[in-house]
Chains A and B, each alone.
Chain A
Amino acid sequence: DAKTTQPPSMDCAEGRAANLPCNHSTISGNEYVYWYRQIHSQGPQYIIHGLKNNETNEMASLIITEDRKSSTLILPHATLRDTAVYYCIAVGTASKLTFGTGTRLQVTL
């Protein structure tokens, strides 16, 4: 599976959009981009995933560049409860999820 690179930490003001970048420059054509988050001392929570097209659900939007080498997770109106570690994972069929160190997002008042 392709390696992903994320900034170790980011801050975001409450009510603003949080844009979390992920680089996956070696991603292959059959690998999906998955995003999870882990609030302190809880189990990870699935957020969204995509292959080529941009995706949106009730939690977030996922923007994947046309060359698929990077993506951005967007939380449109961050709240304090969105403070968590966010994991970007590139995974192909017949593989397993491999969590890295993620981005620690701190939402502040």
Chain B
Amino acid sequence: ETGVTQTPRHLVMGMTNKKSLKCEQHLGHNAMYWYKQSAKKPLELMFVYNFKEQTENNSVPSRFSPECPNSSHLFLHLHTLQPEDSALYLCASSQELAGVYEQYFGPGTRLTVT
């Protein structure tokens, strides 16, 4: 496996379900990110982790709960989502250095909340 992988690629869940998105990077990077891309809207940064520590939370509702057990893995736990949470969820990683913004993105998880 190379690069950044995300599973599942597609997910349909009801508003009362609990599910998790998984991201894994094989690039030796120390920073990982979650982005949300709703239809016809720009990418929105949700969370940033640097060396497993959360360094940014962009006012994301608590029904989205990230977890970063190590520098290679990132999870997004989902519970009691709303239909407006349907979107493409993208994970990215980078080498966290000042002035370096080369982020490598995974293919995304297409989430549909019914």
Contacts and interface: CB of A to CB of B under 8 A. Distances in A.
Interface in B58-75: none
Contact of B102 (A41, A42, A46, A99): A46
Interface residues of B, number: 21
A14 B103 CA distance: 28
Nearest to A95: B101
Interface in B1-59: 4, 42-43, 45, 48, 56
Nearest to B45: A96
A43 interface: yes
Contact of A91 (B42, B88, B101, B104): B101
Contacts, number: 45
Contacts of B101: 32, 34, 49, 89, 91, 97
A101 B44 CA distance: 11
Contacts of B92: 43-44
Contact of A42 (B45, B98, B104, B107): B107
Nearest to B56: A96
Interface of B: 4, 42-43, 45, 48, 56, 88, 90-92, 98-99, 101-108, 110
18 contacts: A30-B99, A41-B88, A43-B91, A43-B92, A44-B92, A44-B103, A44-B105, A46-B102, A46-B103, A46-B104, A49-B101, A93-B98, A93-B99, A94-B98, A96-B56, A97-B45, A97-B101, A98-B45
